[in-house]
Amino acid sequence: MTNNITSNRKTVFESLGYKKTINNLIKQTQELYLSDEIPWVLGYSGGKDSTAILQLVWRAIEELPKDKHIKPIHVISTDTLVENPIVSLWVERSLNQMKEASDQKKLPIQPHRLTPAVRDRFWVNLIGKGYPAPRPKFRWCTSRLKISPSNDFITNMVKANGEAILILGTRKAESASRAANMKKYEQGSTRDLLSRNKELDRVWVYTPVSDWQDDDVWQYLMQDKNPWGFANEELLNMYQGATSDGECPLVVDTSTPSCGDSRFGCYVCTMVSEDKSMTAMIQNDAEKEWMLPLLELRTKWLDITDRNTEIKNKKIDNERTHRDFRRMNGSLTLHNDRLVHGPYKQEYRTQLLEALLRAEIAARELGPQEVKQLELITLEELEEIRRIWVMEKHEIEDILPTIYEKVHNKPYPGKRIEEAQVFKNEDMSLLKKICKEKAADSEGLHYELIRDLLHIEHQNRTMVRRSKLFDSLDKTLERNAFKTEAEALEFAQTRKKTRDSIDDQEEASILFNDTMNL
C-alpha cells in the first residue's frame, strides 16, 4: 500500500548537502566534547531519534585519537518493565551489542540499562497498593517509571562531577510546543550549543538534531551504517510494522511521507484509547500474534478511555465499582455529591494478578524462542506486592502464593512470611462467614475491621511501649467506621452540609461586624 502525499517539507541537508552537513555536525560534536571534562549522558530509547544522535556521537568520538577520549559518555536507556516487548527486546540486544563494540574499539561509551526501583514499578503500585489505572488527573506512572530512574542516574553524575551534559534527540519538528520550549531554554543559556535543563540543576542539554525533520533522521539512518553493528533497516521495519497500513517508505525526497509517526510505549498505557503500534504490529505480522494476550490484558482489565464519551463514562463507572469508597489513607472525599473512590479492592487486585500471570504464560506459549522466558512481572515484584498486601493492608490471608500456584501449577518460589501465619486460611474463611451471617456484612467491611485489628495487635505483640499500637488501632477503627458505602456517603454528605452551614454563619457574622463598623 502506498501513501500519495505531497509535502513541501524542508530538509536540513538542503543548504550544504548531506555529506558536508553530517561532517560539520560531527566536527561540532568533537569540539564540544573536547571543550571541557564534564561527563556526557546520552538518552537512548532505541527509537529513530536517539539512534541518530548516538550514531553521530559515536562517529565523532571514534574519529578522535585515543588520547583525546578524555571523558566517559554514558548511554542510558530506561526500561519501565512494561514496555512493548518487541521494543524492549530490541533495545536490550542493541545495548549488549553496543557494549561489545565499544569495548572492542576501546571507546569511552558506556551503555546502562536503567529500571525503576521496585517500589515504583507499575504492577507493584497497581496490584500491590491498588492505584487505579493512570489517567490525565492521576498520571502516577510517568515520574515513577520513566523520569526517576534517569534523573537519579544524572543526579549522581552531577554529585560526582559537579556538572553533566545531557544529549537528547528532541527535535523542534515534533510539535509546536516542543519547538517553543526548546527555543526558550536555548535563549536562556550561557553556553554555545547547550541549553539549560528545566528540571535538573547544573545539567546542560545538547540536542544535535534539533532542527532535523523526520525525513532527515531516516535518510541519515539509512545512509550511514550503524557503528555498533546493529541493522538500522530492522529499526525501519519495526516502525513499518507499527503503522496501521504497514507502509513506512524509505525517504528519498520531500514528497515521500515520513515513517516518524509511529509511537512505541508501554503495553499497559491507559492514557490513550488504543495501543495503535502494538495493534498494528499484530495485524501486519502473524508471527507477532503472541502479543495478543498483552493487548487483551490491557483492554479487559485496565482500559478506561474511549473517543466516545458515553462509552468512556461507562468504563469509568464500571471501574469505580472495583475501587474502595475510601481514599488510600481511609478518608472520605465528596465530588458532585458522590464519594471519590480510592484504591482497587482486594478482590479486584487478586483478579488482576491472576490475569497478568495467565497473560504471561499465554505469551510464552504462543511466542518464539526468544520470549519463552518472558517476564511480565518479576519475582521481586511479586514479593513486594505480597509484602504490601500482608504488612500494609493487613490482608493476612496471604493469597498471593495461592494465586501463583493455581496459575503455574508449581510451588511459589518466594520466602515465607511469618506475619501471614497468624491464622490459617480456614480460620479466616470462618471469620468471613460469621461476619456475613451474624453481622449482615454484605460488603465485607466488618470482616476487614476484625482482620485488621487482629493483625495490628499481632504486629505490636513484642512492643514495650503501646502508644504506636493505640494509634494504629484508632486509625483502623476510624477507617472502618461504616458498615456500607451508602452509610459512608450519608455521613460525608451530612458532614459537608454542616461545614457549609458553619461557613455561611461565619461569613454572615463577619459581614454583620463589618456593617456595624461602617
CATH number at residue 50: 3.40.50.620
Does residue 483 form part of some domain? no
Does residue 47 form part of some domain? yes
pLDDT of 461 reads 81
State the total domains in the chain: 1
Does residue 32 form part of some domain? yes
> Pairing state of beta strands 109-114 and 73-78?
parallel
Phi–psi pair at 70, nearest 5 degrees: -85, -15
Query: pTM (2 decimals)?
Result: 0.88
Does residue 118 form part of some domain? yes
Nearest 5°: the CA angle 88, 89, 92 is: 85
Does residue 35 form part of some domain? yes
Residue 114's beta-bridge partner residues? 78
Which parts of 44-194 are beta strand (E)? 73-78, 109-114, 164-167
Do the Cβ atoms of 273 and 241 come closer than 8 Å?
no
Per-residue pLDDT of the chain (518 residues; tens, 9 = 90+): 334 333 456 899 999 999 999 999 999 999 999 999 999 999 999 999 999 999 999 999 999 999 999 999 999 999 999 999 999 999 999 999 999 999 999 999 999 999 999 999 999 999 999 999 999 889 999 999 999 999 999 999 999 999 999 999 988 877 676 667 666 656 655 578 898 888 899 999 999 999 999 999 999 999 999 999 999 999 998 888 876 544 443 333 333 333 444 467 899 998 888 888 898 899 888 899 999 999 999 999 999 988 889 999 999 999 999 999 999 999 999 999 999 999 999 999 999 999 999 999 999 999 999 999 999 999 999 999 999 999 999 999 999 999 999 999 999 999 988 765 677 888 899 999 999 988 888 899 999 999 999 999 888 887 777 778 888 899 999 999 999 999 999 999 999 999 988 877 777 777 666 665 65
Burial classification of residue 494, based on how many CB atoms lie within 10 Å of its CB (0-12 exposed, 13-18 middle, 19 or more buried): exposed
pLDDT of 112 reads 97
| Residues comprising the chain, all counted | 518
Do the Cβ atoms of 325 and 339 come closer than 8 Å?
yes
Displacement of CA 501 from its chain's centroid (Å): 44
Does residue 80 form part of some domain? yes
Domain limits for position 173: 18-239
Do the Cβ atoms of 193 and 204 come closer than 8 Å?
no
Does residue 453 form part of some domain? no
- pLDDT above 90 covers a percentage of the chain that reads 68
Phi–psi pair at 415, nearest 5 degrees: -80, 160
Does residue 177 form part of some domain? yes
Tens digits of per-residue pLDDT, 314-360? 999 999 999 999 999 999 999 999 999 999 999 999 999 999 999 99
